[in-house]
Amino acid sequence: MLLRKLSDCFPSPFRPQHQRAVILSAGRSLRDRPKSKDLRLLFAMRAGWVSFEIVLILLSFCLSCRATFAQQEQRWVILPQSEGKFLIGIRPLGLSNKVTGTWQPAQADVDAAEANLKQISVFPKSNYAWLPIEHPERYFRQYLGLLQGARKLIYLSAYCGEDDYKRAPYYWRDRLFMIADGGDCVWKALYDVAAKKFVSLSINGLA
């Protein structure tokens, strides 16, 4: 009798009412867990975000590569004004008057020279222009502003680079070409900004 009363005070975990409580608790925990369908949806959403981030990274990389490639493909450059110091006080390309100073051409000035580049192909033959330049647009081209008093000129220095054996010097975007020979691989021209035409052409000799 005493044992039975003690058991009533301290219910056994194997008593029916305790078993029901355990089962109800387990049922609630199972209901709180996400279903397999929800898990699949969650994983799909996470995978979608990861894929979207990867696409953005690749797109950013491609745009960067495209910009770099475009810069490398552009075969002309406007040199800093300081590079003109080598030409001050001389008569480049057979001009009658000496160079008195330099100036910095704007993008529009060089665009105008580029638009008239075909004039080089039909330039009259002379002691300086002793060979034809059929495709001036294929050369690496440096533009530099020169002054003859108030007259604005754009000095164009060109170097061939149509294949791996004729690559432009590594410094061509920063420093003026100073090459003594090379034949029709190296030439220089002067563009008159006001007249909108090339007024002088000189092709290097052969060593």
Q: Give the integer Cα–Cα distance in Å for 154 and 129.
A: 18
β partners of residue 198? 191
Q: Which pLDDT score is estimated for 86?
A: 84
Is 39 part of a structural domain of the chain? Answer: yes
Is 37 part of a structural domain of the chain? Answer: yes
As given in the structure block, the two tokens for residue 205 are 């000799």
11-41 per-position pLDDT tens digit:
444 444 544 444 445 455 545 555 565 666 6
Q: Give the integer Cα–Cα distance in Å for 101 and 147.
A: 5
Region 176-183: mean pLDDT is 83
| SS3 (DSSP) at 90 | coil
- The answer on pLDDT for 119 being more than 90 is yes
| Spatial contact of 185 and 160, defined as CB atoms under 8 Å apart | yes
48-96 per-position pLDDT tens digit:
665 666 766 766 654 544 443 344 468 999 999 999 988 888 777 767 7
Q: Same structural domain for residues 116 and 185?
A: yes
For residue 187, report the phi and psi dihedrals to the nearest 5 degrees. Answer: -150, 160
Q: Same structural domain for residues 86 and 59?
A: no
Report how far Cα 13 is from the mean position of its chain's Cα atoms: 75
- The answer on pLDDT for 9 being more than 60 is no
For 117, half-sphere exposure in the C-beta direction (CA atoms, 13 angstrom radius) is: 22
Give residue 18's domain range. Answer: 14-73
Is 5 part of a structural domain of the chain? Answer: no
Is 3 part of a structural domain of the chain? Answer: no
Residue with more model confidence, 159 or 178: 159
What is the pTM assigned to this prediction?
0.64
Q: Same structural domain for residues 66 and 28?
A: yes
- Number of domains composing the chain: 2
Share of the chain above pLDDT 70, in %: 62
Q: Same structural domain for residues 155 and 56?
A: no
- The answer on pLDDT for 193 being more than 60 is yes
30 burial via Cβ count (<10 Å: 0-12, 13-18, 19+): exposed
Cα–Cα nearest to 159, from 130, 120, 186: 186
Q: What number of other Cβ atoms are within 10 A of residue 149's Cβ?
A: 10
Least confident among 46-60, 125-139, 168-182, 187-201: 46-60
Q: Which pLDDT score is estimated for 55?
A: 60
Per-residue confidence at 157, pLDDT binned at 50, 70, 90? very high
Q: Buried b / exposed e across 186-200, counting CB within 10 Å, b at 16+?
A: bbbbbbbbeeeebeb
Q: Same structural domain for residues 47 and 127?
A: no
β partners of residue 159? 140, 186
Q: Which pLDDT score is estimated for 112?
A: 97
- The answer on pLDDT for 120 being more than 90 is yes
